[in-house]
Each structure stands twice: as C-alpha cells, then as structure tokens.
Structure 1
Amino acid sequence: MKNLVIMKNRQAVTTSLQVAEAFDKQHKDVMDTIRHKLQSAENSAHYQKMFALGTYQDSRGRTQNMYYMNRSGWSFIAMGFTGEKADSFKLAYIDAFDAMQDELKHQNELVMTPEQKLDLLIETGSRANHRIDHVEERMDDFEANRRLESGDYTSVSHGVSKAVREYIQDRHLQLTQEQRSALYKDINGGLNQVCGVRTRTQIREKDFDKAMQYIDDWSPSTATKMMMQQAGEQTAMEV
C-alpha cells in the first residue's frame, strides 16, 4: 500500500489516485479537476508548478494516467472536500506533508557520508510511515473496495442489458414491462450477490472479471423462468 505522501525529486508529493481513494472520490473526477486548472488561461503557469503527469498500473495491469501534486496542488484540490471523514484525512495529509518536509530539511542541514545518508533515508521512511500507520489501515480498506471506473461500469451495464435482450429474443417472448423488470431484477440480484454488494453501482474494481463472467453465464432463476414461460404460453394463446 502506498503512503499518502511520498518523496519525488526531493519534494513531498501525493497523487491524484491517492487523493481519490482517501476522500472516496472517482479518480476521473479528480483528474478532470486538475486538467481544468492546468488548461485555464488564468494562473495556468502557476498550476504547472503544482502538478505533473504520471502513470500507474491498475489492478488489471493496464497503464493509466494520474497526476503527482505537491502540497500547494493538494490544497487546491482538497479544499473543496467537506465532512467529518474529509477533515480527518486532511489532517492526516497535513501531518504526512509536515513529516516529509521536516525530514528533508533535516537531511539538507546535515553533512554526512554516503553510508550515513542511506541510514538516515531508511530511518526517515520508517518515522514517516509510523506517523501515518493509523491512516494506512483505512487506506487498505479503500484499496480493497475501490469501485469501478466509469468505463468498466458501462461495460457491466451494457452486458446486463445484452444478456436480458438476448434471452427475450432467443425465446421470442412478448413481455410486459413488469415481466421485463423481473428479468432485470433477476440478473442484477444475482450479480450483486456474486460481487457482495447491495447495488450494481457498488461493484468493486477487483470484482470486474467476476461480474462479467456471471453476466456471460447468467440464466434466470426457476421462479423467473416460470414467469417467462407463462408469458410465452399466454402470447401463443392470443395468437
């Protein structure tokens, strides 16, 4: 698990990914906020000093964009987040930035041999990590429960619609809106159960492949099948 604040090019920074996780935001929304600031005509040059584009590997091995940001950049992004949980993470970030900056200042003031510098670097990392251990546990939980990015959620939604549509077409069913809703309720209920969530919007990124496999293998429950069969028989009688 990454720390809230890391050292990059001798500067204390965090990332858009970490900010999104800590404050329970969609990463794309944090990225859009940063892009908007960088593209604004006013103060654009000033924002360029706060943010730097980087990349990371997501849980499925894909290369995704993110932004590094220094303390000033983080302040611009986080100042709009409100609530008790947001305040607790703001304080944790401030402590982490302070810890990293204090250690960097301490290192700059000392004249040391390469071996001493290495020892201090190790000690610095240990002390900084210790100061945010209580936050790390909560961050681990966020990491394990990261929700789907918008593109993956769209894939799940399209998959559900396609599965229901093909079920109806393959059996030449003429269904009422209520009966169609029963099919959607069936597939969504099973999907939520398999992924351990209450609603489809809560599906986690780590469960994406499991969700898509369920959709591919989906077949309505016996009760739902009987309802659809009755609908088909009724349609045949009417014809």
Structure 2
Amino acid sequence: MNELVIMHGQQAVTTSLKVAEVFGKEHRNVMQSIKNLTAENSAVKKMFAESTYVNNRGQEWPMFYMNRDGFTLLAMGFSGAKAMGFKLQYIEAFNAMEHRLTTEQDSYMIADPIERAKRWIEEQKALKETQKQLEIAKPKVLFADSVASSETTILIGVLAKIIKQNGVEYLTVAGKQKLMGQNNFFKWLRENGYLISRKGDSWNTPTQKAMDMGLFEVKESTTPNPDGSVRITKTTKVTGKGQQYFINKLLGENAA
C-alpha cells in the first residue's frame, strides 16, 4: 500500500499497475477499463497518460498514469465494502500529495497561469525586500531589529534561497549534510519541530511551538473549482521575526 499516489510531471498521480495491485484485479482488465472510458468521451483522455513499465523479466509493457479525476472515474466501477476502503485511502493519499505540492512548490510549478503569476510577483517582491535588508546588514551579519518587526512575510522557499545566498550551503537533515534548498529546508523545519510532519491537512503547517514563537503566519486563499465549489488553500509564510530567527540560527550553526 506504499506510494499509492506519486508525483509525476509536477502532478499527483497513481498508476494502473498500483490500482490493479491494491484492488486485486488483473492489470490487463484495468487497462481495458481505462481504454473503454477514454473511448466513450474524449474529455476523459486528459485524465490519463499512456506510458510503459519494465517487468521483472526485463520486458516493456504498457500502463497508464492517472490523476485524481481519472482514478475517481475508474474506481466508480469498483464495488464492495473492501473496495470502498481502498477508494478512501486513495483519495486521502491524493489530498496529502496535492497539499504537499501546494505548500512546497515554487511559482513556476503552479499550473494555473493566473495563480502562477501572482505567486511569482509575490516571491520577487519579498525576495527584493529581504535582500535590501541583507545589503544593509552585509552578508553573514545578523539581521537588524527592524527586520524582526517588519510586517513583510515571505514564503519558506524564498527564505531558503536567501539563506543560501548568504553562505549557508548545507543543512543537517536526518544526521546527514544536505544541500541547502527548498525541499531540504522543509525537511529541516519538520525535523526540528517547526512544521508539522504528520501527513494530512496539517502537513507543513506550523507547530504550536513555532506559532507561539511568532515565526510563521498562515495565509488562507480561495480558488474556485470547475464544479462551482470553492477550495481553501493554506500557505505557511515566515514572519519578519521568523526570518531573523532562522537566518541567525543557521548562520550560527554553520559558523560553529
């Protein structure tokens, strides 16, 4: 049941192989069901992407990747209490992966062009503002008190870039030296108790300790879905005080 949902092409997907394995079906039958779905409605084709895999004999065989909508359509034909349990696990896995993508992705990874442009403008504005503060303080010098009281909040990924630009090349993650970057910074924050590591809706949101310290704010935004409903997205952002705290802490650790 591991890796029910994976990231492929910057999208949360699963495969026909995994569906066949978990639901106890022949892969060829799952493949035929997918072909039947895509043959009936051309709009369904975009939910599936044909690919190949190599079996344990070294032979190449066809398979499909599918997004959550594609899986939902396919799984509607699976019945029984056991099947319902598997469906719920898949939906939960899709939600967790998509939440992770939403909270960790850079602006260039966002599919919607309007949201991508908004995020890019926000990142650039925050980056320039914080770099201005760093130029005043000089590289590797601790942030001034004015930064701590600043009302400007920035994305965690932006802070990771700033910290790297100021000489922090590595982080200690799981006892090993890792290159400083957005993904490893998220891991470091989770490992050190600043972000919640439990998978689910709270994944990568601040822990109570971090909120009590005033290191983060959580911004909520709404995005309309095609069916008319509204999706609420929560984005964790670093406060001025948090920027000072993490830069000081990591510069201090790397100087030690």
Taking structure 1 as the reference length, the TM-score comes to: 0.47
Q: From the CA coordinates, give the structure whose radius of gyration is larger.
A: 1
For CA contacts below 8 A with separation 6 or more, give which structure has more relative contact order.
1
Structure (1 or 2) with the greater helix fraction: 1
